[in-house]
């Protein structure tokens, strides 16, 4: 059976990636600017239901309050690194409920979502936000997804023998002028 990958959005204004099989659909990140944008993006996925939204890190272009409201409406599970759980609430819940949002945590151990096996790994991005990439295994295929990282020297083992690699990086000069980043 085939394994599909689609970049639904990739920019400083929002990131959202889809990995799916005939049985499973996982979004990696959902950092869109409004509930309307989120609904429009998610409507592209039908008739496939989303089994999980997997968050790489907490920058608002990867997850934010409005997409979480839509995720909550749909009853979809959201999974974030265990060390980011409290910060997710503090940063993005805006002290408004989201009491029905199904939030789970992961660490760097492999976990299964139906017919996908997902192995998170930490990547260097911003010293204030833990960031993860993901190795996704399906049958005899291996794909690697890594966003917003600045140094791959200790990560080559994750990329070795991959059938597909997606690396996302945004370089917005205007944004860097506005918010200088010493890690760039």
H-helix or E-strand spanning residue 85? helix 85-92
Beta-carbon count within 10 A of 150 CB: 13
pLDDT digits (tens, 9 = 90+) for 145-159: 998 877 777 889 999
Per-residue pLDDT tens over the stretch 12-58: 778 999 999 999 999 999 999 999 999 998 888 865 689 999 999 99
Looking at every residue in the chain, the average pLDDT score rounds to: 88
Write down the pTM of the prediction.
0.89
**Sequence-separated (6 or more) residues with CB below 8 Å from residue 184:** 150, 176
The DSSP line for 48-78 is: SPP-EEE-S--STTTB-HHHHHHHHHHT-EE
Tokens of 1: 């059976």
CA–CA distance from 77 to each of 56, 57, 62, 80, 140 (Å)?
15, 16, 16, 10, 26
Residue range 73-80: average pLDDT?
Answer: 95
CA dihedral 17, 104, 37, 143 (to 10 degrees): 0
Instruction: pLDDT band for 128, please (50, 70, 90 cuts).
Output: low
Q: How far apart are CA 44 and CA 154, in angstroms?
A: 36
Q: Are 8 and 17 in contact (CB under 8 A)?
A: yes
Nearest to 29 by CA among 46, 48, 12, 4: 12
């Amino acid at each position: 059976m085939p394994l599909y990958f689609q970049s639904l959005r990739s920019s400083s204004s929002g990131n959202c990636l889809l990995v799916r099989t005939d049985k499973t659909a996982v979004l990696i990140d959902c950092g869109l600017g409004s509930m309307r944008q989120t609904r429009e993006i998610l409507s592209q996925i039908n008739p496939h239901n989303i089994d999980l939204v997997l968050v790489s890190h907490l920058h608002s272009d990867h997850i934010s309050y409005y997409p979480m409201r839509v995720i909550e409406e749909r009853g979809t599970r959201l999974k974030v690194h265990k060390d980011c759980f409290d910060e997710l609430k503090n940063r993005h819940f805006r002290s408004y409920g989201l009491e029905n949002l199904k939030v789970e945590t992961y660490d760097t151990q492999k976990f299964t979502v139906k017919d996908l096996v997902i192995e998170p790994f930490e990547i260097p991005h911003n010293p204030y936000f833990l960031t993860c990439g993901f190795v996704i295994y399906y049958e005899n295929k291996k794909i690697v997804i890594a966003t917003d990282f600045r140094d791959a020297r200790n990560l080559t083992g994750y990329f070795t023998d991959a059938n597909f690699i997606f690396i996302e990086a945004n370089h917005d000069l205007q944004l860097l002028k506005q918010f200088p980043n010493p890690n760039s």
